[in-house]
Amino acid sequence: MTLRDGSHISLWQETAASSIHPSTSSASKVDIIIAGAGITGLSTALMLQKSGKRCMILEAETIGYGTTGGTTAHLNTLLDTPYTTIIKNFGEDNARLVAQGAGQALAHIRENKEQYSIDCGFKNCKAYLFSQDEKQTKELQDIFDACGKVNLNIADESMIPVPVPFDRAMSVDCQGKFHPLRYIQALAEEFVRLGGIILEHMRVTGVTEEEHILNVETAGKIYVCDKLIYATHVPPGINLIHLRYTPLRSYAMAVTLKSDVYPEHLSYDMYDPYHYYRTQEIDGVKYLIVGGEDHKTGDDTNTEAQFSKLEAHIRKYFDVDEITHRWSSQYYDTTDGLPYIGVLPGHSDKFLVATGFGGNGMTYGTLSALVLKSIVFQEENPLIKLFSPSRIKPVAGFKSFVEHNTDVLKEVLSKFFSSDPNTGFADIAPTEGKVIDVDGRKIGIHKDELGSVHAVHAACTHMGCTVAWNQTEQSWDCPCHGARYSTDGKVLNGPADRDLEYVNVEILAEK
């Protein structure tokens, strides 16, 4: 089984062999270092290695530890940001480029699967979008028209794959689905076969730039390269980019059905947040995977309730035999709806980044490999400008930027105007966590199953916002930029690159 940045075990984790790679290398200089071994890092590393660059992947934990191990792996050109919005924000020609790029990404996955005979349960399928009331039907019509404008292969549908009542439906052809961990593990094998180096348990903790090279610091050793690519889902440290995305959590369940009638295609309703449905067959067993109940990271502390709502939704429409897996994971929505792929703002062109994929990171993570290769080899590619992390869109995204960052401000102010009573931790039940105020300092208290108390300073090491308890994944989550920490303060998700400080619980107990 592979490891992941949450306490619930995803379907993918349990059905993939663990990856074992060394954590040191005698090589000290390579052409390109890629930080992060999710779908983005591995797709990019393999592509660059194949194109003649000597590459090294530095992964803080193990392959697939991030959201790639907690995804649901729909492979789409029908994107979360509707083409109506992409056309509004970027124009019709650019929206067509995005659709084309998404198509290239899916074609690239199909090619990899064929070329390396990857046994990842890949299947071509359609994606269905369906409306359930008048307002949604009007929106569906607009999306249908916009999908036509960007040349997707669309159709009106009178039936949908899932037993959910609907008003109107459309489909998009040439989509796909696969087992994400089996896919990326095969990419890793091929990368190593071509001479690439993968180091696990090797977090990038800092980088210094000299005239022609970068010194990439890790806990063990400094590695030297010409370029560094942050494929870490969000770049570590403090960067302008952190003000231009919102971290969100989404929930998923895998279930078996009594009837053996599993939907073959991908399906989506149109609520906000929406539900997403698909089937994956693994080692002869079929699983229906349903996701939804998304919320901003740190916003909803009763995260167990999200699973209850999702379960009720699934049971309402499907004859569930067994709930085999449930998990939640994190993604990042950008303010204007497109990802950031290119030079990290405020840095030289030696620093590249790929982030902000929303719920389409299988597609965009793969597309990042194609775009980053164009950047590295200075090839013409119109997506370089379109996805540039430094793009300035004064109107697009302004509303969500303000909405999200009002909360950031609230978080920062709350450090000064704290009203939390010092309730101590007697009223915290086992497995629960709570932030309390001790002499003006926010302390995160967690009781494990045995009642032992673990305490951390609750100020996120990224920019100082107060972390919130995530009951479902048993973690401390930052509502500002999405950093997450384990119960003992260890970084689970960036952008934080330092752990939360431990607190001496004996001293607290005396108060």
Question: Given the complex with ligand FAD, which of 279 and 443 has the nearer CB atom?
Answer: 279
Question: Which H/E stretch holds residue 56?
Answer: strand 55-58
CA distance 402 to 399: 5
Q: How far is the CB of 507 from ligand FAD (least distance, A)?
A: 32
Write down the residue that tokens 């998304």 correspond to: 294
The number of helix segments (H) and strand segments (E) in the chain equals 11, 25
Which one-letter amino acid corresponds to residue 89?
N
Question: Given the complex with ligand FAD, which of 68 and 136 has the nearer CB atom?
Answer: 68
Strand order in the sheet with 433-438: 433-438, 441-447, 453-457
Question: Which H/E stretch holds residue 183?
Answer: helix 180-193
Token pair for 25: 């290398």
Dihedrals phi, psi of 411, to nearest 5 degrees: -60, -45
Question: Given the complex with ligand FAD, which of 143 and 503 has the nearer CB atom?
Answer: 143
Concatenate the DSSP letters of all residues of 393-422 into one string: -SSTTHHHHHHHHHHHHHHHHHTTS-----
Q: Which residue is nearest to ligand FAD (CB)?
A: 361
Question: Given the complex with ligand FAD, which of 83 and 425 has the nearer CB atom?
Answer: 83
Q: How far is the CB of 46 from ligand FAD (least distance, A)?
A: 13
Q: How far is the CB of 61 from ligand FAD (least distance, A)?
A: 4
Q: How far is the CB of 66 from ligand FAD (least distance, A)?
A: 2
Which one-letter amino acid corresponds to residue 297?
T
Which one, of 34, 20, 62, lies nearest residue 492 by Cα? 62
Question: Which H/E stretch holds residue 57?
Answer: strand 55-58
What is the 3 state secondary structure string of 126-171? EEEEEECCHHHHHHHHHHHHHHHHCCCCEEEECCCCCCCCCCEEEE
Q: How far is the CB of 419 from ligand FAD (least distance, A)?
A: 33
Question: Given the complex with ligand FAD, which of 82 and 494 has the nearer CB atom?
Answer: 494
Question: Given the complex with ligand FAD, which of 23 and 418 has the nearer CB atom?
Answer: 23
Which one, of 358, 458, 463, 461, lies nearest residue 409 by Cα? 463
Question: Given the complex with ligand FAD, which of 126 and 233 has the nearer CB atom?
Answer: 233
Q: How far is the CB of 429 from ligand FAD (least distance, A)?
A: 27
CA distance 161 to 128: 8
Token pair for 140: 């569906």
CA distance 434 to 261: 43
Question: Given the complex with ligand FAD, which of 78 and 503 has the nearer CB atom?
Answer: 78
Q: How far is the CB of 411 from ligand FAD (least distance, A)?
A: 22
Question: Given the complex with ligand FAD, which of 40 and 94 has the nearer CB atom?
Answer: 40
CA distance 213 to 221: 16
Q: How far is the CB of 392 from ligand FAD (least distance, A)?
A: 24
> Which residues lie near ligand FAD (CB under 6 A)?
35-41, 58-61, 65-68, 70-74, 203-204, 231-233, 236, 250, 252, 291, 329-331, 357, 359-363, 365, 494, 497
Q: How far is the CB of 138 from ligand FAD (least distance, A)?
A: 26
